Structure 1
């Protein structure tokens, strides 16, 4: 009789799990925090924050786990039960990109932003806003710096999506970073609004 009950319970759980649709939503708040930290280390030239591992809480006295509960835990992925998603930003690839972006910002981009020659675009890149503010002798260098920056930014958004196991999140990560670059812009810097029009902070 006990075997029959377990078999019936197992069949019911398999049917229930088969009906569950697992949706993995983009964790916007976590992404915004991660983007803000990354952008701050580039614009403010800080260092990358160490990812602190939270120690596991000490085990509490728990009720014995029923076999049916253990079976359900095995069948339903942990991602479904996670209620505080996080975004992974630090990988060897993103750290290399961060280093290049910090060096480029310090050597070239900050001066171009300060003069209003370039600005942040609505799609998370940089673009020339007023070429007339770049001396003719420096235009080739400025154009190359903008192209290199945009190449790194595109690679960054793609790598963060890939590192989190969701390549389809790339456009959402790009939008999150675009908002973050504009929010962290210094007074006097240019940026594009949602319609693509240039504004000054």
Structure 2
């Protein structure tokens, strides 16, 4: 940047930010992006229930930013906080390291859970979790192991919904994301799967 030293960049950026703050500080509601959430849930659930192995991901290293670039990013981030967009982004962020780790964990566990869904021992709950629906369908020697599998599955599912909301800057969206996933899990699971309706009654798909 000609004529402006790197030492002056922070000062100029802060002055510009303050000017925008005082002239354009407007609070606008951000609505939950239902269609984008549905699409994100379908992407994740289809990957989890698919029997294909998880794809390997190679993330290229980013080149170091200059002082000017770093301050530009900070100013843009601050402005995004000051002047909220009228509508949420068209897509939800579902590709963070934490989300990828949870997706991989859920996918690895599916082959162990699949027979119990098929037998009716397990069912999908209305809050997007997994429940032991019919313990009698499980041999006695397998029950302790299955209980642990269900606990681990629900831990990962809860963390996934929370992390998606957090990654998109709206922790308050967690309940909406959970409701979206509850519908999509049922839609993507095979025919014959047991699930809870909106009133908590067990039904067979």
Common topology (TM > 0.5): yes
Residue 95 (structure 2) pairs with residue 99 (structure 1): no
- Match of 1:121? 125
- Match of 2:62? none
- Match of 2:175? 171
Q: CA deviation at 1:76?
A: 9.3
Q: Deviations over 1:65-102 (max 9, x none)?
A: xxxxxxxxx79967515575211111111111111111
For 2:56 and 2:45, the matched residues in 1 are separated by 12
Q: Is the 8 A contact 1:30 1:85 kept in 2?
A: yes
Q: CA deviation at 1:29?
A: 0.3
Pick from 12, 22, 40: which aligns with 2:28?
Answer: 22
- Match of 1:66? none
Pick from 143, 153, 156: which aligns with 2:157?
Answer: 153
Which stretches of structure 1, 4 residues or more, deviate above 4 A after TM superposition? 46-50, 74-79, 81-84
For 1:81 and 1:25, the matched residues in 2 are separated by 8
Question: Of the two, which has the highest radius of gyration?
Answer: 1
Uncovered stretches (5+) of structure 2, i.e. residues with no partner: 1-18, 58-78
Q: Is the 8 A contact 1:41 1:48 kept in 2?
A: no
Q: CA deviation at 1:114?
A: 0.5
For 1:112 and 1:196, the matched residues in 2 are separated by 20
Q: CA deviation at 1:21?
A: 3.0
> Residues 137 and 81 (structure 1 numbering): CA distance in 2 closer, same or farther, change over 3 Å?
same
Q: Superposition pairs for residues 52-201 of structure 1, below 5 Å?
A: 79-80=84-85, 84-106=89-111, 108-201=112-205
- Match of 1:3? none
> Residues 169 and 81 (structure 1 numbering): CA distance in 2 closer, same or farther, change over 3 Å?
closer
- Residue 80 of structure 1 aligns to a residue in which SS? coil
Q: Is the 8 A contact 2:128 2:178 kept in 1?
A: yes
For 2:177 and 2:55, the matched residues in 1 are separated by 19
For 1:165 and 1:36, the matched residues in 2 are separated by 21
| Aligned positions, number | 164
Residue 68 (structure 2) pairs with residue 44 (structure 1): no
Uncovered stretches (5+) of structure 1, i.e. residues with no partner: 1-9, 51-73
